[in-house]
Amino acid sequence: MRTVRLPSGIEVPALGQGTWFMAERRQPRSEEIAALQHGIDLGMTLIDTAEMYADGATETLVGEAITSRRSEVFLVSKVYPWNASRRGTKAACEASLRRLGTDRIDLYLLHWRGSHPFADTVEAMEQLVDEGKIRHWGVSNLDVDDLDELWGVDNGERCQVDQVLYNLTRRGPEYDLLPWARGKRMPLMAYSPIEQGQVPVDGALADVADKHGATPLQVALAWVLRQPDVIAIPKSGRREHVELNRAALDLVLDEDDLARLDAEFPVPRRKQPLEML
């Protein structure tokens, strides 16, 4: 498993597992748990969740999946912006810990920006680190202006990652956010890296997939993973889909492949607002 280095020096898998929409009875619970456990077997040991997902039920499912394998997993969760006050962040974290059935979260993220000042959220995050309830903290859905402001508060530079919507159809971060993050040696974490399975699977993606004996979605995922400082967290509730995602990590796209994809999914030429799902 290829890894990505966080600013703290810790290395995490470049390919993890998302859990948005799990525990919502779209698939059998046992099947979703088996998929997460199979992903761990394949080295996809970074698991991302949030208090928002299924109103906390997803965290409970994740906790069940990792109960006997906690030491193998790099666990990521997120706090709602309206909970991200000094007291609220700590209370939300403790509730997440109970649902997850663990004594620590490896990376705790502010889910998106709300009304609470960054200084308050960062102070709470640092207290949680001191208490051993989280190991690191980061943010999600923050654009360059937000990050500049975050860096201006005490300990704001201790942010480890920005989790954002990034895929072939959402390339806006390449214009300014990705270069900004690289300047800070901070990776991006791409959620919905295949647009929840909705990237166009014909045209260039189909051509490149045929060339490599892969599926179009594997090519789309490999495109995100081609960059050494981007972590991808596709969600999959089925073992066979987990295996396809894992195989995408080994798919190497050449210059011709990338040129074909650029022609259909153009590189951004100007600033675009950061998109969210």
Burial classification of residue 212, based on how many CB atoms lie within 10 Å of its CB (0-12 exposed, 13-18 middle, 19 or more buried): middle
Is 52 among the domain residues?
Answer: yes
Closest to 19 (Cα-Cα) out of 79, 61, 67, 71: 61
Is 50 among the domain residues?
Answer: yes
Is 256 among the domain residues?
Answer: no
Chain CA centroid to CA 40, Å? 16
Residues marked active site are found at 53
Residue 171 has pLDDT above 90, yes or no: yes
pTM: 0.96
Residue 42 has pLDDT above 90, yes or no: yes
pLDDT tens digit sequence for 217-244: 999 999 999 999 999 999 999 999 999 9
pLDDT tens digit sequence for 114-137: 999 999 999 999 999 999 999 999
Task: Give residue 115's pLDDT.
Answer: 97
Number of domains in the chain: 1
Mean pLDDT of 170-185: 97
pLDDT tens digit sequence for 61-103: 999 999 999 999 999 999 999 999 999 999 999 999 999 999 9
Q: What's the Cα-to-Cα distance from 142 to each of 147, 155, 274, rounded to whole Å?
A: 6, 17, 8
Distance CA 242, CA 247 (A): 9
Single-letter amino acid, residue 212:
H
Residue 26 has pLDDT above 90, yes or no: no
262 and 60 Cβ atoms separated by less than 8 Å = no
Residue 27 pLDDT class (50, 70, 90 cuts): confident
Distance CA 66, CA 46 (A): 11
Task: Give residue 197's pLDDT.
Answer: 87
Sign of CA dihedral 210, 213, 215, 220: negative
pLDDT tens digit sequence for 237-250: 999 999 999 999 99
Q: What is the CATH number of the domain that holds 50?
A: 3.20.20.100
Which two tokens mark 267?
């590189």
Give the domain range for residue 27. Answer: 12-198+227-251
Is 128 among the domain residues?
Answer: yes
Q: What do you get for the CA distance between the two ends of the chain, in Å?
A: 28
Residue 23 pLDDT class (50, 70, 90 cuts): very high
